[in-house]
Structure 1
């Protein structure tokens, strides 16, 4: 009888221990971008970094997304475990029920809070060395691939119009996924893409054919009303000078439904693991304290606690 009681007691203790272990885990859902994109790969890296940095106490489930608008819209039906990526301007538009959220406002949009910045959507105007193009004036008469439906395509078309080139450039009817082969076989003179730097398709193009990534002048950057970004020399093969271009900031967000301790751990672990992530994926090198200024809305109170402990300079509007 005593042996049987001891066995039952051990089994009960094991059950309690397993339950305690399960309760210690914090589960997060992270929604970012399409599975084929660099931003989805960043999500994979963040998930691994959080698991490593918390010794498995924080488990992240990655979800594919069709884009930032969908990410923000899902705030209405999600809880405190939801983390998503979007440009800060889009989060602000949701709270104000403007732009893509016109007529679709929801009180939960005003509960969106920032956690940390991730690599920005950086514009690349990529020209083949053979084209001889060194600046935007040189695009006159050239064939350019813009793609369709993406931020880079929309932004690229806007820049061509701003700089008086819309009717001087031939737009190629080729999918952006075929940009490198099209550049290599001379079907196009260049292509426009937006993503984190170093951008995988630009790395491929630079290695395969040799390219020039165009710099914008300060006046051109002002006209775009975007954030000035410098891509350091040496980022791409054959690039011996810094590239001045523009970017759209991207931030990881949660809502006030997330408890402060979880937001604190998420944010602290991200910054603690960023150096290690940069060793394997260079696009994380573009994330530093200077990007905190691109967060135009409020920061989650839990994340704010970390930033104040770590000595980050924050604006009053972020607190």
Structure 2
């Protein structure tokens, strides 16, 4: 074999190796929330965990999102590489063509399948210790910051009405971003926020001034029709008992367009690396397999394979 032919053969072999290596990498797009939000940061952490946990075999690209409804709507035009986050309740509404999905129904919504839960949106009623408030009934006559437009603001307003204190509470005209400073200087008695626990603004508040994060009773939780969640004692400075409150579960979804092997690897890698994720950010420590019960629809067959191999019980409705 002459030198020119040897060179050509070597070039072809190198090209084939490059193509093989490239084809071995599975690319996934993960769409969650706005840049700068805790849920966007979770996406970044998940992407890093997937890369490390698969030795680079799975590459996750993070896309900014304007919210959960947009994430669901994009299922109509996306392929098998699409992973997105949303509350399971929104998937149900999309599949039924109700609420914000009325008149926007699409067969693609029926193909949505769950992979694994991520940290829930958790309600926090944060009160200054000086306010003396230890339960929801004590909010009367106090000044509360709800914020504007967010899930926490809408949910907080709903709870004030549900529990009969809305007329006696003064709502502060202050941005949620200024909640900690307003609480510390006595401008407000407390604020309401929703986010994965431990919530950064609650950590900051508890570190700067004595606070009480309110628990809800079983009857109050039932009245909200939300999912009960427990924030363990010691999560926040000065918190010496568990906090029982409500949450909106959030789940990572894909569709049946995703291959079973990819869904299997994503799910397996998530659970096998969850402890390391928790070392990076404490909000992952609140996720466990019991939260699969919050998924009221079907789980992707590839993910089901992992759960069955791991001996994790699923309901018939999940399969």
Q: Structure 2-normalised TM-score?
A: 0.99
**Deviations for 1:139-188, whole angstroms, at most 9, x for unmatched residues?**
11111111111111111111000000111111111111111111112111
Report the counterpart of residue 312 of structure 2 in structure 1. Answer: 312
Q: SS of the residue aligned with 1:159?
A: helix
Q: Distance in 1 between matches of 2:63 and 2:238?
A: 36
Report the counterpart of residue 103 of structure 2 in structure 1. Answer: 103
1:1-319 map, 5 Å:
2-319=2-319
Q: Distance in 1 between matches of 2:46 and 2:94?
A: 25
Select between 39-48 and 127-136 the one with higher mean Cα deviation: 127-136
Q: Distance in 2 between matches of 1:29 and 1:280?
A: 22
Deviation at 1:265, TM superposition (A): 0.5
Deviation at 1:210, TM superposition (A): 2.0
Q: Distance in 1 between matches of 2:189 and 2:236?
A: 18
Q: CA RMSD in A?
A: 0.9
Q: SS of the residue aligned with 1:298?
A: coil
Deviation at 1:34, TM superposition (A): 1.1
Q: Distance in 2 between matches of 1:183 and 1:10?
A: 69
Q: Structure 1-normalised TM-score?
A: 0.99
Deviation at 1:252, TM superposition (A): 0.2
Select between 298-307 and 183-192 the one with higher mean Cα deviation: 183-192
Select between 192-201 and 130-139 the one with higher mean Cα deviation: 130-139
Q: SS of the residue aligned with 1:90?
A: helix
Q: Distance in 2 between matches of 1:92 and 1:135?
A: 33
- Count residues in correspondence: 319
Deviation at 1:95, TM superposition (A): 0.4
Q: Distance in 2 between matches of 1:8 and 1:271?
A: 46
Q: Which structure 2 segments of 5+ residues have no match?
A: none
Q: Distance in 2 between matches of 1:66 and 1:214?
A: 30
**Deviations for 1:100-147, whole angstroms, at most 9, x for unmatched residues?**
101110110010000000011110000112212111121111111111
